[in-house]
């Protein structure tokens, strides 16, 4: 994965990721149009597929809605990096096939930097700053969920 960084602060809750007023649909393409809208009104129009969100502590706190990782993934966000994630968001992200990475040094990464994530080596490479960081390893089962595209796709593959 490689993309441009979009920075957000700590305690980004699921209502900032996708506002409750859009929860009358589960259509991922519709949710994608409104991702991060209350945090940055033009975000969905400015970001490009493959971009990466880097945020502060406790990303995804708030309600347990699965719509949040669905909206991020459908918008084209390739990954989210933060020092910590709310536990329910952590599991929902993997269930939806959205890779997330725990990294303490997020303050060193700047908005607009280009970063590459090497999942095999467990590294986040900041190409813009020529720095490399090691992220907290993803549990094997969670990695299998991401590789499959989420829990539903994983279950389909297991049934074959």
Q: What is the 3-state secondary structure (H, E, C) of the chain?
A: CEEEEEECCCCCEHHHHCCHHHCCCCCHHHHHCCCCCCCCCCHHHHCCCCCEEECCCCECECCCCCHHHHHHHHHCCCEEEECCECHHHHHHHHHHCCCEEECHHHHHCCCCCEEEEECCCCEEEECCCCEEEECCCCCHHHHHHHHHCCHHHHHHHHHC
Q: What does the mean pLDDT of the chain come to?
A: 94
State yes or no: pLDDT of 8 exceeds 80: yes
Structure tokens at 137: 């390893």
List domains and CATH numbers for the chain.
Answer: 2-159 (3.20.19.10)
**With pLDDT > 70 as the criterion, what percentage of the chain qualifies?**
100
What is the pLDDT averaged over residues 94-120? 95
**C-alpha span between 88 and 66 (Å, rounded):** 9
pTM, to two decimals:
0.94
The region, left, alpha or beta by phi > 0 then psi within -120 to 50, assigned to residue 143 is: alpha
């Amino acid at each position: 994965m490689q993309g441009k960084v979009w920075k957000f602060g700590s305690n980004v809750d699921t209502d900032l990721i996708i506002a409750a007023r859009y929860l009358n649909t589960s259509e991922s393409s519709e949710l994608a149009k409104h991702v991060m809208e209350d945090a940055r009104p033009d975000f969905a129009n400015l970001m490009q597929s493959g971009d990466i969100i880097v945020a502060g502590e406790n990303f995804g706190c708030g309600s347990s809605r699965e719509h949040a990782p669905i909206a991020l993934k459908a918008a084209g966000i390739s990954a989210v990096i933060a020092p910590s994630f709310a536990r329910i968001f952590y599991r929902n992200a993997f269930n939806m096939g959205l890779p997330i990475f725990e990294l303490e040094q997020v303050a060193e990464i700047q908005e607009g930097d280009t970063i590459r994530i090497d999942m095999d080596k467990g590294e986040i490479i900041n190409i813009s700053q020529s720095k490399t960081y090691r992220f907290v390893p993803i549990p094997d089962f969670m990695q299998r969920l991401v590789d499959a595209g989420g829990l539903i796709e994983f279950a389909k593959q297991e049934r074959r």
